[in-house]
Amino acid sequence: MQEPGTPVSYDVHGVQEKWLPVWDQIAPFRSGRADDPRPKKYVLDMFPYPSGDLHMGHAEAYALGDVIARYWVQRGFNVMHPIAWDAFGLPAENAAIKRNSDPGEWTYENIAVQKASMRRYACSFDWDRTFNTCDPEYYKWNQWIFLQLFKKGLAYRKASAVNWCPDCQTVLANEQVVAGACERCDTIVTKKKLTQWYFKITDYADRLLDDMQSLEGQWPEKVLQMQRNWIGKSVGAEVTFEIEGRDKPVTIYTTRPDTLYGATFFVVAADSELAAELAGSSPVKAEFSKYLEEVKAISDIERLSLERPKTGIFLQRYAINPVNGEKLQIWASDYVLSDYGTGAIMAVPAHDQRDLDFAKTMDLPIRTVVESDLEDPAVTGIATPGDGKLINSGSLNGLSKSEAINKIIAELKEQKLGEAATNYRLRDWLISRQRYWGTPIPIIHCESCGEVAVPEDQLPVKLPSSAGLDLKPKGISPLAGATDWVNVACPQCGKPALRDTDTMDTFVDSSWYFLRYVSPKLEDRAFDLEAVKTWLPVDQYVGGVTHAILHLLYSRFFTKVLHDLGYLDFTEPFARLLNQGMVVMDGSAMSKSRGNLVRLSDELNVHGVDAIRLTMVFAGPPEDDVDWSDVSPAGSVKFLARAWRLSGDVTSAVGTDPSTGDLELRRATHKALHDAGFAVESFRFNVAVARIMELVNAARKAIDSGPGSNDPAVREAVEAIAIMLSLIAPYTAEEMWERLGHKPAVALAGWPTVDPSLVKVQSVTCVVQVLGKIKARLEVDPEITDAELEKMALADPAMVEALAGANIIKIITRAPKLVNVVTT
RNA sequence: GCCCCGAUAGCCCAAUGGCAGAGGCAGAGGACUUAAAAUCCUCCCAGUGUGGGUUCGACCCCCACUCGGGGCACCA
């Protein structure tokens, strides 16, 4: 039982119940009223996939995003901080198959659960701007964008060997294959020859690469690096080789045209058409077919193994080296990839390790054409890849690598035998999926007209009801079973035609959702052009590094395409990016199977929302992983209660002028406001928390053993604490604000103006050293000059003693912090 | 194999090239209490992964290495 008169203890759950309905009323984070005079800022969290309730990862990401959004609101900005749901995708479909129900049912249930959790988690989202990508009102615009790309020739269909997940029974983009396995289910990915839709992202490879310069310093270097890697630009030359007994020559790609004289054989990708053709008229045709079968049977996993010995087959055909007329054996091998460059290479074993391995295995000649200090590759088995003087290379002899490259390219060009060329690792984006729960591709296949775009006024092409459809994966889209839906009249000739039955990769949905927020309910356009001009590009994007390549690259691509189509006046969607780390447990990622799963709902029930948010923010730098076994949510509760108690101790009246208050505490308050603000702006949220903690300690001390609870400076300090805490612990902050005599919402109280004269340091401790060893400390004015300081230091008794009889060579003075005397 | 990031107290983490410690966790002691919890106060603990270098001065810059994490990888 509480004794009457004893202070009530801080009730973490009570404050949540108390303030939620009040905030619903005030809606402090509604953005974008036309008459809002505040400057604008767009703070964006990556939207969630509604796979269930929110988990610890969401809790971290949204806590960090919220600090940023709430900070800018306090700083007087009109912040748009929206949320929506990335609601198409396989988990819903798999759940529907299991439960024999509709994927939408499962999806919307989860969205409702997540939405309620976000509200309770006190995310400062603008709830007027939500949408779900699985709503026809949204995916209509996926289809519209698809059609714009189609018209521009940026969406096209081609047949090729694609990544196929036997478990998901659908194709995958290159980006969704991780180490030869399906990103989602870890099944080994196989190859399958299919006709599929692609977006021509390769047309934008150079711009995707070059425009990253403008993101330098604004995005994590790691992400930029990963994108550069993924695009994989390489500069070299294409060289044409005549083939004996073939009319047309063959072009190869090389980054080292300078080593052309070192080519001793020629290799074509085993699975290329060229290989089949060359083998077709050679005596080894049967042998080649057998080899090709073997190659196809090898999974990507095996291909990735570095130890695997080189294999191949001599096709009994010859290529002619254009620079010296040498006959080069043509081999077929799987170490040359059919879909990179031209699928054929000149092999220079002395200076390329892979070629050397092959030459050693097949006993082919090796000729050194670049001089080096290293031992002969033919002997050591180690290729010499570096720079050096060219030898055995005709007109190139004596030149350096770069000189030789320039010269040979010029010579080849003159003789129309080759030219400079660029290649990319990036492939076009395969967007077809053979599954139900996605955006239907708005194309009609007509026997006479071919691929016909669904007229824009007929959008959206709505998904047919899943009732009666077999959603089980079987390699063709479930939509093919919706007979009534599939059979339509051709929009061009009116003859019977068929709808495309594939759905789009869900990464299409997320490649432009940040544009939809500006006008989420707009019916006749994907986004309002004026509103886009107002809000975009996104000022601050927050999300996990897991999307460093896929989502961010695709979004950048879409932005550039929409820019080129005249809809956007910018070319990069996200001005600044913050990647938060993961929440792990005992050093490893949480998972049910590992038995180290921490449930967010449990943590919230025990410690309350504020303490969990604080724990996430305080754990360390945001980009580092949070190990839940290293942090102390209980400690966070203690701190919040400590801060809360301060609000009950303030005895001065609301509106008390702080200027007559205790100077020391006032300085601490203004320093904290200054430093915490700076820390937030530089994403050092953990440091910002530390500054708040310091001020809490200082206020406690002032009340207990300083000027006392009635000092105006105490009120000023505690109000500042409430406002700073409102970024991180909104319930506690609101409760403090009320106890201090204010009306809600503290979120809109505004960041107090920092008084520069209070932040200015009054005196500085100057360290006085001899040979780097501290001999004395001086309290000096921060404005002191070097000369004054030096004089003061040398006059100090300790220095006089230390320097007695010493030979002074030099005095280094860095006012106001240091004097260092160098002696012999 | 190539590229990127990191290493500071028992633990998580701070420190414009200038006194290694802001904050927290854990621990110890004390005050309050009949007692405990809660609260408040005080204290303990490293010389910055290793080896060099630059500098009057290095956690910070440079080189080499060790360990840990991540990305790319038969891309010619």
Asked if A652 CB < 7 A from strand B, the reply is no
Instruction: Indicate the DSSP class of residue A644.
Output: H
Q: Structure pTM?
A: 0.91
pLDDT over 70 (residue A11): yes
CA angle A277, A279, A283 (to 5 degrees): 140
pLDDT at A153: 94
Asked if A639 CB < 7 A from strand B, the reply is yes
Residues A51-74 have a mean pLDDT of 94
DSSP string, A186-232: -PBPEEEEEEEEEE-GGGGHHHHHHGGGGGBTTB-HHHHHHHHHHH-
Task: Count the helices and strands in chain A (H runs, E runs).
Answer: 27, 30
pLDDT at A737: 96
Residue bearing the bigger pLDDT, A820 or A740: A740
CA of A480 to C1' of B37 (A): 68
Neighbours of A288 (CB within 10 A): 22
Three-state secondary structure string covering A605-630: HHHCHHHHHHHHHHCCCCCCCEECCC
| 3-state secondary structure at position A142 | helix
- Residue A47: band (very low, low, confident or very high) from pLDDT cuts 50, 70, 90: very high
Segment (H or E) for A332: strand A327-333
Query: A531 Cβ partners below 8 Å, 6+ apart?
Result: A32, A518, A519
pLDDT at A307: 63
Asked if A177 CB < 7 A from strand B, the reply is no
- pLDDT tens across A304-330, in order? 555 678 889 999 999 999 999 999 999
Asked if A202 CB < 7 A from strand B, the reply is no
Asked if A687 CB < 7 A from strand B, the reply is yes
Asked if A228 CB < 7 A from strand B, the reply is no
Asked if A817 CB < 7 A from strand B, the reply is yes
Question: Which bases along strand B come within 7 Å of a protein CB atom?
Answer: 3-5, 11-16, 18-19, 22-26, 38-41, 56-57, 70-76
CATH 3.40.50.620 fits A138-226+426-505, yes or no: yes
From residue A619, give the alpha-carbon distance in Å to each of A60, A483, A722. Answer: 10, 55, 20
Cα separation of A25 and A12, whole Å?
21
Cα separation of A312 and A301, whole Å?
19
| 3-state secondary structure at position A441 | coil
Which nucleotide is closest, CA of A623 to its C1'?
A: B5
pLDDT at A5: 32
pLDDT over 70 (residue A300): no
pLDDT at A293: 84
Q: Give the β-pairing of A583-585 and A626-627.
A: parallel
pLDDT over 90 (residue A154): yes
Q: What ipTM describes this predicted complex?
A: 0.94
Helix axes A56-74 and A663-681, enclosed angle (nearest 10): 120
Q: Are A786 and A813 a contacting pair, CB within 8 Å?
A: yes
Cα separation of A778 and A100, whole Å?
79
Q: Residue ranges per domain, chain A?
A: 138-226+426-505, 232-422, 598-756, 762-821
Q: Give the β-pairing of A818-823 and A764-770.
A: parallel
Residue bearing the bigger pLDDT, A149 or A353: A149
What is the torsion angle, in degrees rounded to the nearest 10, for the CA atoms of residue A485, residue A491, residue A493 and residue A494?
Answer: 40
Residues A671-685 have a mean pLDDT of 93
pLDDT over 50 (residue A765): yes
Which of A197-201, A379-383, A746-750 shows the lowest mean pLDDT across its residues? Answer: A379-383
CA of A813 to C1' of B76 (A): 59
Asked if A385 CB < 7 A from strand B, the reply is no
Query: A529 Cβ partners below 8 Å, 6+ apart?
Result: A567
Asked if A91 CB < 7 A from strand B, the reply is no
Which of A147-156, A428-437, A760-769 shows the lowest mean pLDDT across its residues? Answer: A760-769
Which CATH architecture best describes the domain A598-756? Orthogonal Bundle (1.10)
Which nucleotide is closest, CA of A809 to its C1'?
A: B56
Asked if A232 CB < 7 A from strand B, the reply is yes
Which of A134-138, A358-362, A365-369, A586-590 shows the lowest mean pLDDT across its residues? Answer: A586-590
Asked if A773 CB < 7 A from strand B, the reply is no
pLDDT over 90 (residue A46): yes
pLDDT over 70 (residue A2): no
Cα separation of A310 and A303, whole Å?
10
Asked if A786 CB < 7 A from strand B, the reply is no
CA of A590 to C1' of B57 (A): 46
Q: Are A679 and A685 a contacting pair, CB within 8 Å?
A: yes
| 3-state secondary structure at position A158 | strand
Neighbours of A664 (CB within 10 A): 15
Residues A693-707 have a mean pLDDT of 93
Q: Are A370 and A392 a contacting pair, CB within 8 Å?
A: no
pLDDT at A4: 32
Percent of chain A topping pLDDT 90: 58
pLDDT at A570: 96
CA of A714 to C1' of B43 (A): 28
Exposed, middle or buried by CB within 10 Å (0-12, 13-18, 19+), for A503? buried
Q: How far is CA A786 from the centre of its chain?
A: 48
Residue type at A61 in one-letter notation: A
Radius of gyration, CA atoms only, chain A: 34
Tokens, residue A529: 């052009």
Closest CA to A49 of A438, A430, A429, A433: A438
Cα separation of A368 and A382, whole Å?
12
pLDDT at A467: 85
What CATH number is given for A762-821 in this structure?
3.10.20.590
- pLDDT tens across A209-230, in order? 999 988 988 998 889 988 988 8
- pLDDT tens across A84-103, in order? 999 999 889 888 888 888 99
CA of A598 to C1' of B14 (A): 28
For A314, phi then psi, to 5°, come to -75, 125
CA of A700 to C1' of B6 (A): 37
Q: Can you say whether the dihedral through the CA atoms of A231, A234, A240, A246 is positive or negative?
A: negative
- Residue A7: band (very low, low, confident or very high) from pLDDT cuts 50, 70, 90: very low
pLDDT over 60 (residue A266): yes
- pLDDT tens across A562-593, in order? 999 999 999 999 999 999 998 998 888 887 77
Highest mean pLDDT pick, A264-278, A282-296, A728-742: A728-742
Asked if A769 CB < 7 A from strand B, the reply is yes
CA of A588 to C1' of B65 (A): 28
What CATH number is given for A232-422 in this structure?
3.90.740.10
Residue type at A23 in one-letter notation: W
Cα separation of A531 and A515, whole Å?
9
Which of A45-54, A414-423, A757-766 shows the lowest mean pLDDT across its residues? Answer: A757-766
* Placement of tokens 């889209």 in the chain: A477
Asked if A233 CB < 7 A from strand B, the reply is no
Cα separation of A651 and A51, whole Å?
49
pLDDT at A1: 31
Closest CA to A757 of A679, A670, A678, A660: A670
Cα separation of A772 and A456, whole Å?
76
CA of A772 to C1' of B58 (A): 12
pLDDT over 50 (residue A417): yes
Which of A135-139, A250-254, A392-396, A734-738 shows the lowest mean pLDDT across its residues? Answer: A392-396
CA of A705 to C1' of B31 (A): 14
- Residue A6: band (very low, low, confident or very high) from pLDDT cuts 50, 70, 90: very low
Burial track A621-660 (b if 16+ CB lie within 10 A, e otherwise): ebeebbbbeebebeebbebbeebbbbbebbebeeebebee
Mean pLDDT of chain A: 89
Cα separation of A698 and A696, whole Å?
5
pLDDT at A197: 93
Asked if A13 CB < 7 A from strand B, the reply is no
Asked if A161 CB < 7 A from strand B, the reply is no
